[in-house]
A and B are shown apart, each in its own frame.
Chain A
């Protein structure tokens, strides 16, 4: 327990440092305290919300990933695997396409579409797997397969919708759409709501962490030890979907944070959800904040999409973790 507290303190300090550095530094270099106060204030007003947005999205994605890995009992699951992000993206792109064709302002329409798309995806998922979620799998092996396959199929369907919209979109829209898909932390209008959701998901999952620990060892195992598994699984799926939808609505589909952060942390600190879930929130937030800082500064003044950075770091890191795991 002392180790857990030390680890969480260390990660909190790391997150604070990441936020500070990302708030102070940007494409025009780092702020100095003896500079022009107006300039400092202007740059802070740009950089601080963006750093906080990155932190919140990273925390949401990492928690959603950790919850999905427990729910599906698969250490390689990630927040996007069940099609919620696909639904969001398809909704956002469809909304952009329709807004352009009937001349609506483009500003908020993508976010509205993303929320609606995520809602459709979750409703479809629950409609298709609700029955198997309500039943306990008796064989420990078959757990979650139906949910996983249904989600993968939904994601494939939404992928087709996305491709279709990209094909139909006018050239002038295409760039905006592609950037939305790659992930973009510029827009901090939804930060208060997303931060609230992140906080709520964190509280819920830490409160339920002892029960999630048993769920990770098997549905029947948890039920036999007194965990109301059916209710817990539905609630876990809701929490993970909500976190994913909030993250995707705010920043598009930024990959690998939800997969690499919880998986890597599990290899480092073990699989106790009481520690893992808050650690994932902190490390995911800090990680995405730093990745966004890199995206803004590495080839400045050009800004890279942050999804490219997370993929460039995430892919080799994940392959390395995979090669040193025993199975």
Chain B
């Protein structure tokens, strides 16, 4: 489970277990222009798992999330949802299977926060109807879980970067896909909001859902994730959080040394 397995031996499983698999990447190869990022990457995400994707800048974390979300066709291999290869799925099928919060948000037009969040219902209400009171309540509940309920009538273009990112996450929660993908969800958040957010993501990964988030904070990953993908140049490690978050593997991936400090909250990784 730990290191590179190009032969893809995990595909033979019992039928009962396959039903739990929300994402299956089969010999996935990703490139950025000509630069290879990931080669022959096999990966399965099951319901209840919270994966953190760690690695240096430009190593392919966002590319992996975009490819899984179906925004970027992979250079090789297949990505499968429970419905089959995502290349053959309709946008609406995909929208019910996965949602992604991008790293950056940019608004060209003014829009109230609550209207923005209710866009998350589009996969279920593709028609012309106006949102009803139940939709508004659902949006308010999602905003409340992110501590943004009092901003419901604010204008999205007026928000700070961290607030804007939480609005995007509230939209994702209303979309309620099976697979939650988040590209650096903690990056614009203050320390308290980071704890709140990661706790929320941990709860979202229940018996029907899974979460995959790219991160820069190893200690947040160590505290909240169940599994980790660590991407280094031309190699990767994936597996349970304690198996992958080892100082020597982190050093190989990031190129700097790590002290491990034991604390009441678990292990702390201090780079030097």
Contacts and interface: CB of A to CB of B under 8 A. Distances in A.
A75 to B, nearest CB: 6
Interface of A: prevailing SS: loop
B104 A140 contact: yes
Nearest to B121: A225
A287 interface: no
B218 interface: no
Given A214-B122, A227-B122, A136 B71 contact: yes
A12 interface: no
Interface in A129-146: 136, 138-141
A217 interface: yes
B56 to A, nearest CB: 19
B116 interface: yes
Interface string A222-234: 0111111100000
Interface residues on A, range: 20 to 34
Contacts of B127: 210
A225 B100 CA distance: 9
Which of A213, A217, A271 neighbours the largest number of chain B CB atoms within 10 Å of its CB? A217
B182 to A, nearest CB: 12
Contact of B95 (A140, A218, A226): A226
Contacts of B62: 138
A253 to B, nearest CB: 26
Contact of B71 (A1, A223, A225, A270): A223
B126 A226 contact: yes
A226 B94 contact: yes
Given A74-B108, A138-B66, A209-B128, A217 B116 contact: yes
Interface residues of B, number: 38
Contacts of A228: 90-91
Contacts of B157: 326-327
A221 B171 CA distance: 10
A218 B106 contact: yes
Interface string B71-98: 1100000000000000000111111101
Interface string B53-69: 00000000010001001
A138 B72 contact: yes
Contacts of A226: 90-96, 122-123, 126
A207 B127 CA distance: 9
Nearest to A232: B91
Contact of A224 (B71, B107, B128, B158): B71
Nearest to A225: B122
Nearest to B98: A224
Interface string B112-124: 0001100110110
B100 A224 contact: yes
Nearest to B62: A138
A141 B128 contact: no
Contacts of A327: 157
A74 to B, nearest CB: 6
Contacts of B92: 226
A293 B22 CA distance: 64
Interface in B228-253: none
B108 A224 contact: no
A184 B123 CA distance: 46
B122 A210 contact: yes
Interface string A196-210: 000000000001011
B104 A141 contact: yes
Contacts of B119: 213-214, 217, 221, 225
B95 A141 contact: no
B130 A1 contact: yes
28 contacts: A75-B108, A75-B109, A136-B71, A140-B105, A140-B106, A207-B128, A210-B128, A214-B119, A216-B109, A220-B100, A221-B102, A224-B69, A224-B71, A224-B94, A224-B95, A225-B95, A225-B99, A225-B122, A225-B175, A226-B96, A226-B122, A228-B90, A228-B91, A229-B91, A270-B111, A271-B110, A272-B115, A326-B158
Given A221-B102, A225-B119, 7 more contacts: A73-B109, A210-B128, A224-B98, A224-B100, A226-B90, A226-B95, A270-B110
